[in-house]
Chains A and B, each alone.
Chain A
Amino acid sequence: MKNITLLGVEGCPTCARLDETVQAAIETLDFPVAVEKITEPEKIMEYNAGGLPAVFVNGRRKAVRRVPEVEEFVTWLKEDQA
């Protein structure tokens, strides 16, 4: 199963937009995707992401400091999908 990890801040409008974009991308897919949202500062620091919000797909950093387009999420999630 594909995993998306979103690092962000509770209440941040940019991070909320990121959530919405991820959900929109997932709705176009025909396979399950697990989404984990991390907002606790101590956990965010463990990722050393280099900026917020940040997106990791299966542990690989894909985007920082921006909200990717739905199409980008779809591409990342389809990578290596058998």
Chain B
Amino acid sequence: MTTKTKVTAKLEQLSCPDCANMIARVVAKIKGVEEAEVRYTTSKLIVTYDTVVTSWDSIAQSVAKLGYKILSKTTGS
């Protein structure tokens, strides 16, 4: 049974590519996150994480603390 999940979340419009990189760096540092990417042009966060180690709520909370709202999310493998 896999405990990995991939979530794509739409963020509020980002100010610049550097902001996108910062969010990706912070999310990537969360224990249990295997891969994190933020696409500036589409304001999308794509994150793969281990659901045993961390949760979407933890990831979303970190993004929110940086000041970015998550508008929607979809889960896919």
Contact = CB atoms under 8 A, between A and B. Distances in A.
A52 B65 contact: no
Given A41-B25, A41-B26, A64 B67 contact: yes
A52 B19 contact: yes
A44 B68 CA distance: 12
B67 A11 contact: no
A52 B66 contact: yes
Interface residues of A, number: 20
Q: Taking chain A's interface residues, is the majority helix, strand, or loop, or is none over half, making it mixed? A: loop
Q: What interface size band does chain B fall in?
A: 10 to 19
B22 A54 contact: no
B18 A41 contact: no
B52 interface: no
The interface residues of chain B, by DSSP majority, are classed as helix
Interface string A39-55: 00100110011111110
Nearest to A39: B22
Interface in A4-23: 7, 9-15
A14 B34 CA distance: 31
A12 B18 contact: yes
Interface of B: 15-16, 18-19, 22, 25-26, 62, 65-68
Given A12-B19, A41-B66, A51-B67, 20 more contacts: A9-B19, A11-B18, A12-B15, A12-B16, A12-B18, A13-B16, A14-B15, A14-B16, A15-B15, A41-B25, A41-B26, A44-B65, A48-B65, A49-B67, A51-B68, A52-B19, A54-B67, A64-B67, A65-B15, A65-B67
